[in-house]
């Protein structure tokens, strides 16, 4: 689907979608339980993949008509061997979380996904499962899906790099809680995207699971049961998705108006750093933490320097802001952002360049030269990546002329109502199948 964005002024209230990161973890945590409800979940292409996996392991997921509640009957820490190959579609989070879960099964589980997912690295997680005595193989021998996993892992100690994906740590911690022995994790390298493990620890605690940081890495005792208080878990709003809405206010709010984003209650989400990023660029950001609301008027933005080692999902948003700001915006420590749904470093460099941005790309750094940039509407490729699509839409708000984004339907991965949301704020949006 092509989506056309014309220069627009925005104002009004809009609610951020629920957090994708929290929803994934909550659905699987409820699957590990005997029964639990997940309220205010994000129901999207990615989280539906996690629901399917829970059902493949022997659980069931019942959705209410409005998708505001999931009633999950779990597999009580004992995943069954799926009756078929589990399709994780485009969800890397699903793949990694359920791969560790599959290692608990008595037989063998097979996980695969679409072409993009089958290109993403899983080798360190497979190696960790083998260290625990399980079977874990890539069918092509390249550390990528399709994956074959099983062996009824009982716990133990693993050594794993922390600079490829924090999701490996999350997957092992969630599975380790229901093993007999528990699991001790030693990090071989510095942990990238550390706030995502903080999210995991928060969700585990809310489901009654003890897990902790150690001098070496992390540890989770075995023999535990997932059981949230009152049998329910509520998902907070998503700051990764919120970043586009806040950016829209900072670059395109009407004179004397502002964008107010609801659902912004504090949590362990590292991507709440978008507030600090916007302020460092000169925006005025008013965050009422008690009410869970953030208000942003339009501002004259200046370039900044941002380390995205812990916040990789913010790179596309920051790059788009940099193309609008004066001066250089330098995004550092970003090599791991190349291993997402697409190589987001190159994708943003190339697509912003089509809009007239001056960009310098290095392996671990992206510099957007806002002072040398005049954005002009053009046809751009969303790269089948929800975050690329939404970030290019923000650039399109201020580009001279119409910006046509190919692959607009991919926002369904994390923010299915994105175009409706920005349209409600006053953005001129046209969709063409």
pLDDT digits (tens, 9 = 90+) for 108-122: 999 999 999 999 999
Is the predicted pLDDT of residue 199 greater than 80, yes or no? yes
Q: Render pLDDT for 369-387 as a digit per residue (tens, 0 to 9).
A: 999 999 999 999 999 999 9
The answer to whether 213 is a known ligand-binding residue is: no
Is the predicted pLDDT of residue 158 greater than 80, yes or no? yes
Is the predicted pLDDT of residue 273 greater than 90, yes or no? yes
The answer to whether 118 is a known ligand-binding residue is: no
Class of domain 2-17+237-432: alpha beta
Q: How confident is the model at residue 66 (pLDDT cuts 50, 70, 90)?
A: confident
Contact (CB, 8 A) for 381 and 352: no
The answer to whether 122 is a known ligand-binding residue is: no
Q: Which of 290, 262, 286, 263 has the alpha carbon at shortest distance from 275?
A: 286
Instruction: Count other Cβ atoms within 10 Å, centred on residue 404.
Output: 18
At 218 the pLDDT is 98
Going from N- to C-terminal start, the domains of the chain cover 2-17+237-432, 20-234
At 65 the pLDDT is 82
Is the predicted pLDDT of residue 143 greater than 90, yes or no? yes
From CA 391, how far away is CA 412, in angstroms rounded? 14
At 433 the pLDDT is 75
At 308 the pLDDT is 97
Is the predicted pLDDT of residue 129 greater than 80, yes or no? yes
Average pLDDT score over residue span 378-407: 98
The answer to whether 20 is a known ligand-binding residue is: yes
Q: Render pLDDT for 4-47 as a digit per residue (tens, 0 to 9).
A: 999 999 999 999 999 999 999 999 999 999 999 999 999 999 99
At 121 the pLDDT is 94
Instruction: Count other Cβ atoms within 10 Å, centred on residue 256.
Output: 8
Question: Average pLDDT of the chain?
Answer: 97
Distances (CA, A) of 4 to 34, 380, 403: 46, 10, 6
pTM: 0.85
The answer to whether 9 is a known ligand-binding residue is: no
At 310 the pLDDT is 93
CATH second-level architecture of 20-234? Alpha-beta prism (3.65)
CA-derived radius of gyration, the chain: 21
Does the annotation count 255 as an active-site position? no
Is the predicted pLDDT of residue 393 greater than 90, yes or no? yes
Contact (CB, 8 A) for 54 and 28: yes
Average pLDDT score over residue span 255-259: 98
Is the predicted pLDDT of residue 346 greater than 90, yes or no? yes
Q: Render pLDDT for 307-336 as a digit per residue (tens, 0 to 9).
A: 999 999 999 999 999 999 999 999 999 999
Q: Judge whether 2-17+237-432 and 20-234 match in fold.
A: yes
The answer to whether 426 is a known ligand-binding residue is: no
Percentage of the chain lying above the pLDDT 70 cut: 100
The answer to whether 119 is a known ligand-binding residue is: no
Q: Render pLDDT for 405-432 as a digit per residue (tens, 0 to 9).
A: 999 999 999 999 999 999 999 999 999 9
Instruction: Count other Cβ atoms within 10 Å, centred on residue 254.
Output: 17
Average pLDDT score over residue span 256-276: 95
Percentage of the chain lying above the pLDDT 90 cut: 97
Average pLDDT score over residue span 263-292: 96
Q: List residues bridging with 73 in a β-sheet.
A: 35, 60
The one catalytic residue in 313, 328, 381, 385 is: 313
Average pLDDT score over residue span 239-245: 97
């Amino acid at each position: 689907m092509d989506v056309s964005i014309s220069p627009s002024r925005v104002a009004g209230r809009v609610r951020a979608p629920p957090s994708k990161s929290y929803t994934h973890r909550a659905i699987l945590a409820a699957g590990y339980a005997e029964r639990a409800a997940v309220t205010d979940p994000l129901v999207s292409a990615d989280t539906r993949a996690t629901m399917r996996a829970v059902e493949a392991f022997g659980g069931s997921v019942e959705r209410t008509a409005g998708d505001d509640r999931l009633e999950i009957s779990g597999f009580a820490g004992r995943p069954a061997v799926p009756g078929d190959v589990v399709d994780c579609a485009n969800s890397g989070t699903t793949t990694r979380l359920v791969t560790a879960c599959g290692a608990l099964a008595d037989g063998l589980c097979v996980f695969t996904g679409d072409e993009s997912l089958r290109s993403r690295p899983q080798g360190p997680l497979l190696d960790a499962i083998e260290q625990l005595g399980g079977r874990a193989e890539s069918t092509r021998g390249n550390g990528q899906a399709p994956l074959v996993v099983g062996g009824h892992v009982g716990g133990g100690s693993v050594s794993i790099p922390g600079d490829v994906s924090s999701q490996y740590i999350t997957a092992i911690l969630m599975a380790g809680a229901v093993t007999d022995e528990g699991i001790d994790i030693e990090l071989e390298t510095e942990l990238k995207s550390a706030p995502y493990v903080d999210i995991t620890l928060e969700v585990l605690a809310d489901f009654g699971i003890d897990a902790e940081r150690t001098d070496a890495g992390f540890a989770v005792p075995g023999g535990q049961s997932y059981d949230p208080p009152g049998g329910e878990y509520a998902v907070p709003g998503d700051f990764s998705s919120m970043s586009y809405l806040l950016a829209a206010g900072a670059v395109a709010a009407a004179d004397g108006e502002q964008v107010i984003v609801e659902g912004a209650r504090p949590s362990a989400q590292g991507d709440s750093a978008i507030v600090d990023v916007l302020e460092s660029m000169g925006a005025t950001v008013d965050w009422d933490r008690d009410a869970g609301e953030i208000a942003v008027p339009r501002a004259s933005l200046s370039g900044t320097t941002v380390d995205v080692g812990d916040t990789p999902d913010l790179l596309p948003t920051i790059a788009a802001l940099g193309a609008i700001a004066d001066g250089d915006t330098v995004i550092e420590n970003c090599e791991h952002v190349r291993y997402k749904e697409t190589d987001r470093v190159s994708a943003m460099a190339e697509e912003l360049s089509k809009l007239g941005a001056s960009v310098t790309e290095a392996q671990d750094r992206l510099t957007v030269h806002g002072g040398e940039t005049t954005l002009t509407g053009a046809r751009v490729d969303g790269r089948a990546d929800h975050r690329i699509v939404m970030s290019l839409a923000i650039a399109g708000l201020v580009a001279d002329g119409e910006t046509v984004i190919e692959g607009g339907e991919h926002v369904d991965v994390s923010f299915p109502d994105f175009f409706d949301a920005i349209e409600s704020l006053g953005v001129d949006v046209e969709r063409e199948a």
